[in-house]
Amino acid sequence: MTLNQLRYFCTAARCRSITKAAKLLFVSQPAVSLAIRQLEKEFSMTLFAYTNKSLELTKEGAIFYERSMELLKDSDEMRLHFLDSSRYRPTVKLGIPPLLSTIFFPDLMDAFHVKHPDIYLELSEYGSVRASEMVQDEQLDIGLVNMESYNIDRFSNIVLANDKLVFCVCPEHPLAHETSIALDRLDQQPLILFNHDSVQNQVLMQYFHSLSIEPRIIMHCSQIMTTLKFLRQGKCGTFFFSSMRPYLPDVVCIPVSPIVEAKIGLIWKKGKYMSTQTQTFVRFCERYYKDNPLIESKSGM
């Protein structure tokens, strides 16, 4: 018997549904089902009576639920007592790509710290590919990533915003007057792309390859300010998210064809127990971007 098994069982009992419990716990349905089966096997009892519409606790299950809730309460009280005495503050380790940190996190972090001043966010900048690897290796609790990654189904995830890429140049660039631009017109055009651990970079290269395009990549870069300095020389272009337009007053942002979409969201490792602090942060992000839609509120699109 583990505390996680008890948490999963009690949540399923309260929700009267494994599906709802899994969503609330940010884990997969099989993880909740397995925890319940393991408890039933260990104690040789049936905890739930399964109906077509919901779960119902058996008589033994109801008694087990009450005792489980007492144990979880004692565990939480003990944890809080010793965390307070050690002056420890819970930390959520988050990986975020440089490009996303520009548009996603300044406002959100301020709002989160106002609402939850007792939870630290430890941010590290990584491309989406590297951030995903570190989440899988449990070096990060969660990652904010471009979810167009080919292996995104390996992770539990939520989508926070839908965006698209635009071609960006300075006003003096030869293509700056275009109202839209086909990707095949960028053949041999000097471009700055983000680093190789960027999903955006991988997606663009797939488009270029499918169109038999050979862009002239003059630099791979992870720093937005460095990229902007090169753009202002008027000799190259790059790709940013359309929602970054308000942050780029001296840059011309041109829609591209075909549209290169970008789903932006949070990922975490499947099957791993998510701490209360991390659950709090994920729920906050969901609510925040429902109340403050990225595209409508930031770019007017």
pLDDT at residue number 296: 47
286 and 150: one domain?
yes
pLDDT at 80: 63
Is residue 172 predicted with pLDDT exceeding 80?
Answer: yes
- To the nearest whole number, what is the mean pLDDT of the chain? 85
Contact 129, 199 (CB under 8 A): yes
pLDDT of residue 301: 37
Q: Are residues 148 and 276 in the same domain?
A: yes
Whole-number Å distance between alpha carbons of 114 and 111:
5
Q: Look at residues 53, 85, 117 and tell me which one is the last residue of a structural domain.
A: 85
Phi, psi at 187, each rounded to 5°: -60, 125
Pair (152, 268) in one structural domain = yes
Residues 132 and 269 in one domain: yes
- Give pLDDT tens digits for 113-136: 899 888 888 888 888 888 888 998
CATH at 123: 3.40.190.10
Q: What is the domain extent for residue 207?
A: 162-262
Buried b / exposed e over 158-197, threshold 16 CB at 10 Å, is bebbebbbbbbbbeebeeeebeebebeebeebebbbbbeb
Which of 70, 85, 100 delimits the end of a domain?
85
What is the rounded average pLDDT of the residues 48-76?
A: 87
Task: Tell me: do 154 and 269 sit in the same domain.
Answer: yes
pLDDT confidence of residue 67: 92
Residue with tokens 């942002």: 253
My answer on whether 232 and 114 are in the same domain is no
The verdict on 258 and 166 lying in the same domain is yes
Together in a domain, 256 and 169: yes
Question: What's 184's domain CATH number?
Answer: 3.40.190.290
Measured CA to CA, the distance from residue 238 to residue 217 in angstroms comes to 10
pLDDT value for 4: 84
pLDDT (tens digit per residue) in 224-279: 888 889 998 888 999 998 888 888 888 999 999 999 988 888 999 887 777 888 88
Whether residue 65 contacts residue 45, with contact meaning beta carbons closer than 8 Å, is answered with no
Chain segment 140-170, per-residue pLDDT in tens: 999 998 888 767 888 888 888 888 999 999 9
Which amino acid makes up residue 160?
A: L
Per DSSP, 28 falls in state: -
Q: What is the mean pLDDT of residues 5-25?
A: 87
| Domain total of the chain | 3
Predicted TM-score of the model (pTM):
0.69
